[in-house]
């Protein structure tokens, strides 16, 4: 017990960078830095949210028609997958805090699996939209699929799809980066890099992962659940 | 006579390590500042070259030196380089990087490796943008207005946009580093109320970097996507609204103009206090004015869009809000003046630049108020009046402050004094050259001469010739420091730790500072700018 | 404050049960929002969807991201982010909501 404590503190000391007074200052600083970074991420997505708000307010019906093409079952499943991944991530951070590196590695691996699950489902959806020409650009073509109610405003539905691809695409990119970061934690964790005295990277990647989840929590209702009825 | 006193050169950040690698892989904030200094200077000369081309073309009414297409590219590349690759990083990334950790008594920035990454991102962005320029140029203006940029321009818009996108992340990370450093790395006893105003203003600028830059990043990304895939977000033919682009662009770019001036204001506060031997008048107000400028700066962006087709009601709101920013700006000017009042003033070069700054910024700021009035703006929008306005604030303000700071902290950065007489001469040349260049442009604009044309009616020639003549004086004023700064590295007098007899922690360590900045972490027990209690020696250097 | 110091470099460790409970609530809310969206309640659909999303988001931030146990500075950061996003959206909309001529898209 005592020796492992000393070992822990030695790992921590090696991890203490020279310009900090102590581990606590380093930890608080790293965490604050990560929150600042997430703040910039919010503004980054914010530009897209702003475009979404403007066009949705202007072309409501076109947006409703576009959203009918979303597969709510897959979207909801993906939301659930992400929530599960957030749970395992949170538990993984907790394991790191409590000094259980093996448990942490296992939980992070599960998180990665969920992450790939999300991307897989997203890929299925993307494929469907792609073959239906629901991709903005010269080949874009939109039909409601209901002869009784032809598309009223396909031009502006294209803007809906532009935003759909841009927002979910940027989100998916963040997922890919997140998976990479978690994988790095797994490797470092296996090499014994983290102890209850030093686990900033785990905590910060955790924050990032939850943030990406958070963005999806908004994207899902904004893009999938605009309105099921009002076809046009 | 061998050496009577063998002076062993003290170890400092410059001689602690040698070789290219020790520079390119450094995480020392002081070395990173030097890296920025070199790269930013290069960009300044390139941007200046384009400016000279513009002024030469405008020497005669006919468009004879370059074609209109080339002219469009010239002013675009001038704007992009000067705004994104020179003025935005100039004071924070060079002077701030060097001085802020010293001022707060820290060994380094909070995230030294991120700091280095910022520089690499800056370089990557600059190289990308330069590649776009060399392989054909860009002609949209630095503002990238849609739908021209997305649909009609046949130049390398995507390359330039990606370059700025990458440099934007450099800016974001620099801002993040400042905020975290100032919050978390202050020496014991250095409370917020004792913090030098330069730190306050860099903090305010960092707020803008962190909150604004991501928005322009995503906006330029959308422009690139629109060009590549015709996704229609800004293209009116596809149902998009080009004015949305302007909203998103100015949401960043108006605050960004304050981002370019705020750190400079901090420099001026330091210098005015030091060379008046007085505490800054109304310290708290000056500090809070920085934050107020940063925050209010986000509320006024649509004053750039009064004639673009926004709603009149929105225009009204934005016009009123724009007047609001003038209040904290004026607070600063008044307080600097009050600081000098009854001070014992020394007229060293940094102070001369500070005088220039205060006067020129005031002119620029007041003409900003003109422009923020709806009625006047309809008349002078997109004329040389606007050009004169923003050059008064950006060159008369921003660049002057950068030069002031460079002279003020050069002894700290290099351990050497620059030659004072030459420096005074160049400060004078800059001031005279600047006014000769840009004051005529107010008149030109008022008479209706539009910006961004390579030819003009003959009756405007006198003022244009004046302007071009002024620009050449200005150029000499900028070349001189370049020469004597380099000269001083070898031949300059040794500066000693505190040549200006200034307060502030950065003057309490040797010049150049050692790699770890302070031998012992300083403990602060005094207020900022405690000049009244400083030994009342005259400033000895440079007389 | 004292409590915060005690935990020091280790940080707050929340019980695993709490995380599982949050997970359960989040999943339930996801189901709710989907079900509500299938019922047409006019303009309330958006409101309900956004309220539920905000509740979910708040839970994630407070518990999974430990905001509840974080320093005030972190809270200030989050508030700043929300505030600036609000500025971007609301001031942009002052234009779009009051445009009276045909450049307004959709008219
Ligand atoms: C004192 C407060 C200020 C006010 C009220 C103000 C107001 C304005 C207004 C209304 C315009 C738009 C003119 C038009 O295009 O018709 C403008 C343009 C501009 N201002 Fe200011 N300004 C102020 C300070 C500054 C400062 C401090 C800077 C930079 C350091 C600055 C840089 C610019 C730039 C770069 C433009 C032109 C952008 C372009 O169209 O290319 N302004 N200003
Ligand atoms: Cu402005």
How many angstroms is it from B257 CA to the middle of ligand 2? 7
pLDDT tens-place string over residues B215-261 = 999 999 999 999 998 888 998 888 899 999 999 999 999 999 999 99
Q: Any chain B CB within 8 A of the CB of C102?
A: no
pLDDT of residue B376: 95
| Radius of gyration in angstroms for the set of CA atoms belonging to chain B, rounded to a whole number | 23
Q: In angstroms, what CA-CA distances link A177 with A36, A103, A215?
A: 18, 23, 15
CB of B365 closer than 6 A to ligand 1? yes
Ligand 1 atom having least distance to the Cα of B142: 41
CA atoms of A199 and A12, how far apart (whole Å): 9
Is the pLDDT reported for residue A11 higher than 80?
no
CA atoms of A46 and B220, how far apart (whole Å): 14
Is the pLDDT reported for residue A14 higher than 80?
no
How many angstroms is it from B390 CA to the middle of ligand 1? 6
Torsion over CA: B373, B376, B378, B382 (sign)? negative
Nearest to A33 among B111, B222, B229 (CB): B111
Phi, psi of A123 (to 5 degrees): -65, -40
Count of residues in chain C = 107
B24 or C102: which leads in pLDDT: B24
DSSP state of B538: P
pLDDT of residue A12: 60
Nearest to C57 among A50, A91, A218 (CB): A218
pLDDT tens-place string over residues A202-211 = 999 999 999 9
Which residues neighbour ligand 2 (ion) by CB within 5 Å? B 254
pLDDT tens-place string over residues C35-65 = 999 888 888 888 999 999 999 999 999 999 9
How many angstroms is it from B192 CA to the middle of ligand 1? 31
Q: How many CA atoms lie within 13 A of A78 on its CB side?
A: 31
| Contact call for residues B303 and B254 (beta carbons, < 8 A) | yes
Over range A118-141, report the average pLDDT.
Answer: 93
Contact pairs from chain B to chain C, CB under 8 Å: 44
Percentage of the residues of chain A whose pLDDT score is greater than 70 = 92
Contact C65 A80 (CB under 8 A): no
CA atoms of A10 and B28, how far apart (whole Å): 25
Residues of C in contact with A104 (CB under 8 A): none
Residue B371, both tokens: 């422009």
pLDDT of residue B6: 47
Q: Any chain B CB within 8 A of the CB of C73?
A: yes
Contact pairs from chain A to chain C, CB under 8 Å: 143
CB of B280 closer than 6 A to ligand 1? no
User: What is the domain partition of chain A in residue ranges?
Assistant: 45-142+152-231
pLDDT tens-place string over residues A60-75 = 889 999 999 999 999 9
DSSP state of B454: S
Nearest CA residue ID for atom 42, ligand 1:
B390
How many angstroms is it from B376 CA to the middle of ligand 1? 14
Residue A98, both tokens: 């409590």
Ligand 1 atom having least distance to the Cα of B387: 37
pLDDT of residue B193: 94
Interface test with A, best of C59, C62, C64 (most A CBs within 10 A): C64
Residue B452, both tokens: 């961004």
Over range A139-165, report the average pLDDT.
Answer: 87
Question: Is A45-142+152-231 a CATH 1.20.120.80 domain?
Answer: yes
Is the pLDDT reported for residue A89 higher than 50?
yes
Residues of A in contact with B230 (CB under 8 A): 136-138
User: What is the domain partition of chain B in residue ranges?
Assistant: 35-508
Q: Any chain A CB within 8 A of the CB of C25?
A: no
CA A48-A54-A60 angle, to 5 degrees, is 115
Pocket test for ligand 1, best of B304, B324, B379, B383 (most atoms within 8 A of CB): B304
pLDDT of residue A143: 84
Q: What does pLDDT average to over chain A?
A: 90
Residue labelled with tokens 């990665």: A112
CB of B511 closer than 6 A to ligand 1? no
How many angstroms is it from B286 CA to the middle of ligand 2? 21
Q: Which residue of chain B comes nearest to C83, CA vs CA? A: B211
The CATH classification number of B35-508 equals 1.20.210.10
Low-confidence ranges of chain B (pLDDT < 70): 1-9, 534-543
Q: How confident is the model at residue A77 (pLDDT cuts 50, 70, 90)?
A: very high
pLDDT tens-place string over residues B316-374 = 999 999 999 999 999 999 999 999 999 999 999 999 999 999 999 999 999 999 999 99
pLDDT of residue A141: 87
CA atoms of B410 and B408, how far apart (whole Å): 6
Q: How far apart are the first and last CA of chain B?
A: 31
Residue by residue, what is the 3-state secondary structure of B293-332? HHHHHHHCHHHHCCCCCCCHHHHHHHHHHHHHHHHHHHHH
CB of B255 closer than 6 A to ligand 1? no
How many angstroms is it from B223 CA to the middle of ligand 2? 21
Phi-psi region of B351 (alpha: psi -120 to 50; beta: other; left: phi over 0): alpha
Q: Any chain A CB within 8 A of the CB of C40?
A: yes
| Contact call for residues B295 and B259 (beta carbons, < 8 A) | no
Residues of C in contact with A224 (CB under 8 A): 37
pLDDT of residue B380: 96
Q: In angstroms, what CA-CA distances link B182 with B144, B175, B279, B523, C72?
A: 34, 11, 21, 16, 16
Phi, psi of B383 (to 5 degrees): -115, 180
Q: Which ligand is nearest to the CA of B254?
A: 2
């Amino acid at each position: 017990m005592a020796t492992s404590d000393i070992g822990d503190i030695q790992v921590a000391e090696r991890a203490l960078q020279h310009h900090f007074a102590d581990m606590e200052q380093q930890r608080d600083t790293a965490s604050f830095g990560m929150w600042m970074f997430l703040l910039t991420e919010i503004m980054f997505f914010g530009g897209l949210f702003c475009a979404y708000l403007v066009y949705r307010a202007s072309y409501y019906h076109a947006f409703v028609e576009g959203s009918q093409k979303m597969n709510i079952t897959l979207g909801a499943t993906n939301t659930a997958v992400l929530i599960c991944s957030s749970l395992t991530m949170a538990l993984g951070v907790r394991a790191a805090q409590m000094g259980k590196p093996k448990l942490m590695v296992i939980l992070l691996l599960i998180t990665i699996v969920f992450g790939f699950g999300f991307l897989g489902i997203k890929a299925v959806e993307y494929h469907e939209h792609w073959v239906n020409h629901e991709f903005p650009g010269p080949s874009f073509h939109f039909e409601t699929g209901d002869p009784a109610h032809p598309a009223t405003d396909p031009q502006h539905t294209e803007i809906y799809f532009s935003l759909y691809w841009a927002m979910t695409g940027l989100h998916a990119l963040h997922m890919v980066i997140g998976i990479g970061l978690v994988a790095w934690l797994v490797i470092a964790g296996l090499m014994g890099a983290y102890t209850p005295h030093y686990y900033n990277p785990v905590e910060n990647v955790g924050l990032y992962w939850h943030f990406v989840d958070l963005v999806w929590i908004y994207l899902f209702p904004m893009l999938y659940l605009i309105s099921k009825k009002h076809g046009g | 006579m061998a050496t009577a006193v063998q002076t062993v050169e003290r170890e400092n950040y410059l001689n602690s390590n040698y070789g290219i690698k020790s520079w390119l892989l450094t995480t020392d904030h002081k070395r990173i500042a030097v890296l920025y200094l070199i790269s930013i200077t290069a960009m300044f000369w390139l941007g200046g070259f384009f400016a000279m081309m513009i002024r030469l073309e405008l020497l005669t009414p006919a468009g004879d030196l370059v074609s209109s297409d080339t002219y469009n590219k010239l002013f675009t590349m001038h704007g992009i380089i000067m705004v994104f690759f020179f003025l935005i990083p100039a004071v924070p990334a060079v002077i701030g990087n060097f001085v802020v950790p010293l001022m707060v008594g820290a060994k380094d920035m909070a995230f030294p490796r991120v700091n280095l990454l910022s520089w690499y991102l800056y370089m990557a962005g600059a190289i990308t943008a330069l590649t776009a320029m060399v392989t054909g140029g860009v002609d949209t203006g630095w503002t990238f207005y849609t739908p021209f940029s997305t649909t009609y321009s046949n130049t390398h818009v995507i390359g330039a946009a990606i370059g700025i996108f990458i440099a934007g992340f450099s800016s974001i990370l620099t801002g993040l580093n400042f905020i975290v450093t100032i919050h978390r790395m202050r020496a014991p006893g250095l409370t917020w109320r004792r913090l030098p105003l330069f730190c306050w203003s860099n903090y305010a600028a960092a707020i803008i970097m962190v909150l604004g830059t991501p928005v322009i990043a995503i906006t330029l990304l959308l422009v690139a996507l629109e060009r590549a895939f015709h996704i229609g977000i800004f293209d009116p033919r596809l149902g998009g609204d080009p004015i949305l682009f302007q909203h998103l662009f100015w949401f960043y770019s108006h605050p960004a103009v304050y981002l370019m001036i705020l750190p400079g204001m901090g420099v001026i506060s330091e210098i005015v206090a030091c060379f008046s031997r007085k505490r800054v008048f109304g310290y708290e107000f000056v500090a809070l004015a920085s934050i107020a400028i940063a925050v209010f700066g986000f509320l006024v962006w649509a004053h750039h869009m009064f004639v673009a087709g926004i709603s009149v009601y929105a225009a009204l709101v934005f016009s009123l809000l724009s007047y609001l920013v003038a209040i904290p700006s004026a607070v600063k000017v008044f307080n600097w003046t009050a600081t000098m009042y009854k001070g014992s003033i020394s007229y060293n070069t940094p102070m001369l630049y500070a005088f220039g700054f205060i006067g020129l910024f005031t002119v620029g700021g007041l003409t900003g108020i003109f422009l923020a009035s709806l009625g006047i703006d309809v008349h002078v929008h997109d004329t040389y009046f606007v050009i004169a306005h923003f050059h008064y604030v950006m060159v008369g303000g921003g660049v002057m402050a950068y030069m002031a700071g460079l002279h003020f902290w050069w002894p700290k950065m290099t351990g050497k004094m620059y030659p004072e007489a030459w420096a005074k001469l160049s400060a004078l040349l800059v001031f005279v050259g600047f006014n000769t260049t840009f004051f005529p442009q107010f008149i030109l604009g008022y008479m209706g001469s539009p910006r961004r044309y390579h030819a003009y009616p003959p009756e405007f020639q006198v003022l244009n010739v004046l302007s071009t003549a002024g620009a050449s004086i200005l150029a000499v004023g900028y070349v001189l420091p370049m020469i004597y700064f380099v000269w001083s590295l070898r031949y300059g007098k040794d500066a000693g730790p505190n040549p200006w007899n200034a307060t502030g922690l950065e003057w309490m360590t040797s010049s150049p500072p050692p790699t770890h900045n302070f031998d012992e972490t300083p403990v602060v027990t005094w207020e900022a700018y405690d000049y009244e209690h400083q030994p009342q020696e005259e400033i000895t250097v440079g007389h | 404050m004292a409590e915060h110091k005690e935990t020091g470099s280790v940080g707050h460790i929340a019980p695993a049960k709490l995380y599982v409970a949050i997970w359960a609530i989040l999943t339930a809310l996801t189901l709710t929002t989907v079900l509500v969206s299938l019922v047409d309640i006019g303009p309330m659909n958006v409101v309900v969807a956004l309220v539920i999303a905000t509740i979910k988001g708040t839970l994630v931030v407070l518990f999974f991201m430990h905001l509840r146990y974080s320093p005030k500075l972190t809270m200030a950061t989050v508030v700043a982010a929300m505030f600036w996003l609000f500025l971007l959206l609301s001031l942009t909309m002052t234009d779009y909501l009051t445009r009276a001529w045909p450049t307004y898209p959709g008219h």
